[in-house]
Chains A and B, each alone.
Chain A
């Protein structure tokens, strides 16, 4: 059974640009959640989707958005990138509602120059 797949794994952007990250959950998992990890702030919750609906959102500005498709794949978008957005972005999928056992992807490492 394939694990959680995140793409791209690494990317470099410049300030002001936007970025879209993708997460394909484990087959059959309907919940996808996103997290940001930085050396200074550690792991922080971004948002959680279930059956194409954003059910919960962490304390991040509106520049951070996401969506989930009917096949449970999810994307997150960050617009008007800032230097502080440089981070490892992780997604996790689970079967249960809410936040069952989490299966994490390897993450997308974003560097903003």
Chain B
């Protein structure tokens, strides 16, 4: 069983749709990272959060520490949002860093 689970694994949406990607973790994580990886490999950090909610443009990330759950929302999705989205985080002790398996998002024009 993975310490960090994401759902769905694959997601296809029409341009303009509201998208939600979920992340659940079974270990104590000090801060949850949401990462975006485009084809070709480059990874960009979207958010790092340890409580509450953060917003950047059309992206919103929320986290519930007690429930060990985080969500990434994309409003008004666009084809350029097509990428793999990965949640990840270090354990509270920092001695390990766990990654979800990723959600592959395709936004169709």
Contacts and interface: CB of A to CB of B under 8 A. Distances in A.
Interface of A: 33, 35, 37, 42-45, 48, 55-56, 58, 88, 90, 92, 98-104, 106-107, 109
Contact of B88 (A43, A55, A88, A101): A43
Contacts of B99: 35, 42-45
B27 interface: no
7 contacts: A33-B97, A42-B102, A56-B95, A56-B96, A90-B41, A101-B48, A104-B43
Main secondary structure of the interface of B (DSSP, over half): strand
- A-B pairs, 6 with minimum CB distance: A45-B97, A98-B94, A43-B99, A104-B43, A99-B90, A56-B95
Nearest to B98: A45
Interface in B72-109: 86, 88-90, 94-99, 101-102
Contacts, number: 56
B94 A55 contact: yes
B45 interface: yes
A104 B45 contact: yes
B31 interface: yes
B41 A99 contact: no
B39 interface: no
Chain B: interface size category: 20 to 34
Given A56-B96, A58-B97, A88 B41 contact: yes
Given A104-B43, A107-B41, A109-B41, A99 B102 contact: no
A90 B74 CA distance: 26
Nearest to B97: A45
Given A42-B102, A43-B86, A99-B90, A104 B96 contact: no
A33 B95 CA distance: 12
B57 interface: no
Given A56-B95, A104-B45, 16 more contacts: A37-B41, A43-B86, A45-B96, A48-B94, A56-B97, A58-B97, A90-B43, A98-B94, A99-B30, A99-B89, A99-B97, A101-B45, A101-B48, A103-B45, A107-B42, A109-B41
